[in-house]
Amino acid sequence: MLALGASACASAGRSAGDGDLAYPFAGLSSVRGTDAAAEARSAYPVVFQVVDDPAQTEEVDARPLRRDLSHVPVDGRSYRALRAIAVAFFELHARAERRRGEGLYFVYSFQATKVIAIPWRLYGEIPDVGLRSVILDFYEDVMFGAKPGLGPVRGRYTRMVADLARKESDAALLARIEELVDRARALTPEPVR
């Protein structure tokens, strides 16, 4: 019983630690130029061919990101994939915002949405509480962070985070999801469908 409690504490504490297991972008206004962004480009060149070239309008090839994020057992590649997802999303979203009101806005916005949906789709299949916590760090940054242009789309991502509750079995993470959703809805009521 004691070993089980120690294991749970160690797993839950991963997202708050230093190094490869932490979410590195909270509080930053841009991911560009960070060591984690450089690592993402190096680890996933196929993904960043589309991200780094505004002339590319096709979908991002997300297969390597999905493969590594869903790797069991969870290890460093899982966290590296999540960091790459964050970099790709923030850069694609920023590109879309620069083109708001133009036809390419929708293309870039769709690219960004496909990327941010990767952890949402895989969330229920990830057995590690620490990695799920870092995924929530990412979504918290999307909803409340300092990156420009995210406020207007907060409602869209609030629904995505709210949906994670049905995939979450850990009481602490479930409470965190509910807190994030309540905070977001207080700031940006979701549009009526």
More confident residue, 163 or 9: 163
Average pLDDT, the chain: 87
Q: Measure the CA–CA gap between 131 and 134, rounded to whole angstroms.
A: 5
- pLDDT at residue number 1: 33
- pLDDT at residue number 19: 55
Q: Measure the CA–CA gap between 82 and 70, rounded to whole angstroms.
A: 10
- pLDDT at residue number 149: 87
Question: Which residue in the block uniquely carries the two structure tokens 């899982």?
Answer: 78
Judged against a pLDDT cut of 80, whether residue 6 lies above it is answered with: no
Task: Please report how the helices 103-122 and 76-98 are oriented relative to each other, as an axis angle in degrees rounded to 10.
Answer: 160
Tell me the per-residue pLDDT of 117-176, one tens digit each, with 9 for 90 and over.
999 999 999 999 999 999 999 999 999 999 988 888 888 899 999 999 999 999 999 999
Stated pTM of the model: 0.87
| Dmax (CA) of the chain | 59
- Band (pLDDT 50/70/90 cuts) for residue 42 is very high
